[in-house]
Structure 1
Amino acid sequence: MSWLSVTIDTDCGHAEPLADALLDAGALSASIEDADAGTPEETPQFGEPGSPTTPGWTRSRVVALLDAGTDVDELLAACAATAGLDGVPAYALEKVEEQNWVRLTQSQFEPIRVSGRLWIVPSWHTAPDPEAIVLVLDPGMAFGTGSHPTTRLCLEWLERSVTPGVSVLDYGCGSGILGIAAARLGAADVLGVDIDPQAVTAARHNAERNGVHVRFDDSAAEIRGQFDLVVANILSNPLKALAPAICAHVRPGGRLALSGILAAQTEELIAAYAPWLPLAVADSREGWVCLAGQKAA
């Protein structure tokens, strides 16, 4: 079995009406992308909370999947008219053959070596190093598979910082990868919190799969007391707003690490946390930084 993939470049104002018209006319799927993706003109659509974005791309690309027997010219003529376009737009056509989509998707996720002794391994792979500390983690609904630079920075900080018996708080746990790593590295008491109940469900599943005991909750109100180590891999605006709450859970003499911060945001984050805890750049990668510091004893 095969299908046809049709790609049409258009402007922001016509992209959504055209995609809707294609779906109404029987397209199996229709998506809108940035026609300048992968170039210096690429425009992000989703910023962090508190940062305004402009909806839509000036140069948009509509990609639709069609049945193999579709008369593409006829379909596009009708859909273009519905969307308010003048005539049939130029398009590119590609044949899509049936594949083992599960295997194809899995092939895109290989084991990730975080350090000499820490690996992240999808469940369908065998750990490359049987002597390593292995975190079994599959791509899922929650952020944090180890491939993003901010996750790697936090994992590396935890590996340097966790000693047997310490307590760890992961503020904004996502998939639970940081809390699970802390437990595998020897932490005795680990708590992860996230406002997304689905992330908490995924984190609990991942902890069970890895054979570690980590508490996860979807309410920061459940955080009790202070911790030896606190890590928060979120985004700069939420990190600034949460500064008093996050620092309140670092024990005197305890340490804090923050990531999800672009290099250009470093100074404003350091200033935001200065009343409670001095921060400095612990590491950086691909334009992202990890800030870390120790609370006064």
Structure 2
Amino acid sequence: MTWHQISVITDKDTAPALADLLSDLGAVSVTYMDAEDEPVYEPGIGETVIWSHTEVIALFEIDAEPDLIAAAARAKYRPELLREWRHERIEDQPWERAWMEHYHPMKFAERLWVCPTGQEQAEPGTVCLTLDPGLAFGTGTHPTTALCLEWLAGHDLTGKTLIDYGCGSGILAVAGILLGARSAYAVDIDPQALTATESNAVKNNVQDKIHCFLPEQLPALQADVVLANILAKPLCELSDRICALLAPGGQLILSGILKEQSASVVDAYRNAVRFQAPVQQEDWILLAGTRSRAR
């Protein structure tokens, strides 16, 4: 199937209304892209990011008339608000497989492989986690996830309990079990993330050791290891909740933190956790620490 793709650059005030207009004109999807490499590090939950200069990209079925769509937009908005108007035809394809052409086996701490289906590794002394791009965040390619996988693969998890708070795809929970943890609890505010986690647990034959919960459904428990790969702001806001899930003497792993945010995160956990020196990959850091034992 062939599609019409129309894109145009506008400002952040015009972008939402322009997206609505394109939808009214028959667009089957409308997305926003950063037009000028403007960083937006931490949008609020449920917030749609609009950059100062935003590229609005709309996809139309092939029987749409791009010239009429352009005329309708130009009749409503001043010329300076519609920059670099472009139209192209694109061919349909299995998009998830196209993405996977760029997704290859990855090795962490010489002990853990993360591999797409069909590219599993069987190297002696390692374990292999099978994971394909899917419904939820977390494939190991982003530094925040890679840092957590490096930590997991570099520590002895034998017989330990683990909580993956903000589990996304469940990659950290699954990795923990494959690396020897006794059980893992995967927690996320998004039911779709729990679905993805359950699917990946089955794919790796560890479904009997991984338990999925929305935050409000998580039973009272304390784990030997708690990982939270989310963002600095929610890490700070949830510090009491996350610390309460960590057993005295347990290990806390926090990721999703930009280097300049580390001090505020450390401060939020200062009363309960003693952190080691941060580990950095690109602009992101991981904080690992131990909860103080009860006196």
What TM-score results when the alignment is normalised by the length of structure 2? 0.85
| Runs of 4 or more consecutive aligned structure 1 residues displaced over 6 Å after TM superposition | none
Question: Does residue 126 in structure 1 map to residue 123 in structure 2?
Answer: no
Seen in structure 2, the aligned counterparts of structure 1 residues 66 and 235 have a Cα distance that, compared at 3 Å, is closer
| Structure 2 match to 1:146 | 140
Partner Cα separation in structure 2 for residue 129 and residue 187 of structure 1: 20
| Structure 2 match to 1:11 | 11
Equivalent residues, number: 289
Answer with 1 or 2: which has the greater Rg.
1
- SS of 1:104 mapped into structure 2: helix
Partner Cα separation in structure 2 for residue 74 and residue 254 of structure 1: 63
Question: Does residue 271 in structure 1 map to residue 264 in structure 2?
Answer: no
Partner Cα separation in structure 2 for residue 89 and residue 274 of structure 1: 49
- SS of 2:154 mapped into structure 1: helix
Question: Does residue 2 in structure 1 map to residue 26 in structure 2?
Answer: no
Percent identity, aligned pairs only?
Answer: 39
Contact 1:49 1:238 survives alignment (8 Å) = no
1:8-31 CA distance string (max 9 Å, x none): 222333333333333333344433
- SS of 1:108 mapped into structure 2: coil
Question: Does residue 226 in structure 1 map to residue 222 in structure 2?
Answer: yes
Unpaired runs of 5+ in structure 1?
Answer: none
Shift in Å, 1:258: 1.0
| Structure 2 match to 1:168 | 162
RMSD of equivalent CA atoms: 2.8
1:89-238 equivalence runs, <5 A: 90-123=84-117, 125-131=118-124, 132-212=126-206, 213-220=209-216, 222-238=218-234
- SS of 1:13 mapped into structure 2: coil
Code of the aligned partner of 2:267: A
What TM-score results when the alignment is normalised by the length of structure 1? 0.85
Seen in structure 2, the aligned counterparts of structure 1 residues 179 and 3 have a Cα distance that, compared at 3 Å, is closer
Unpaired runs of 5+ in structure 2?
Answer: none
Question: Does residue 24 in structure 1 map to residue 24 in structure 2?
Answer: yes
Partner Cα separation in structure 2 for residue 235 and residue 90 of structure 1: 34
Partner Cα separation in structure 2 for residue 29 and residue 169 of structure 1: 36
Seen in structure 2, the aligned counterparts of structure 1 residues 86 and 258 have a Cα distance that, compared at 3 Å, is closer
1:58-116 CA distance string (max 9 Å, x none): 322222334557654443122321x3335986523333234444532332322222232
Seen in structure 2, the aligned counterparts of structure 1 residues 77 and 122 have a Cα distance that, compared at 3 Å, is same
Shift in Å, 1:287: 1.1
Contact 1:45 1:56 survives alignment (8 Å) = no
Is the deviation greater in 221-230 or in 202-211?
A: 221-230
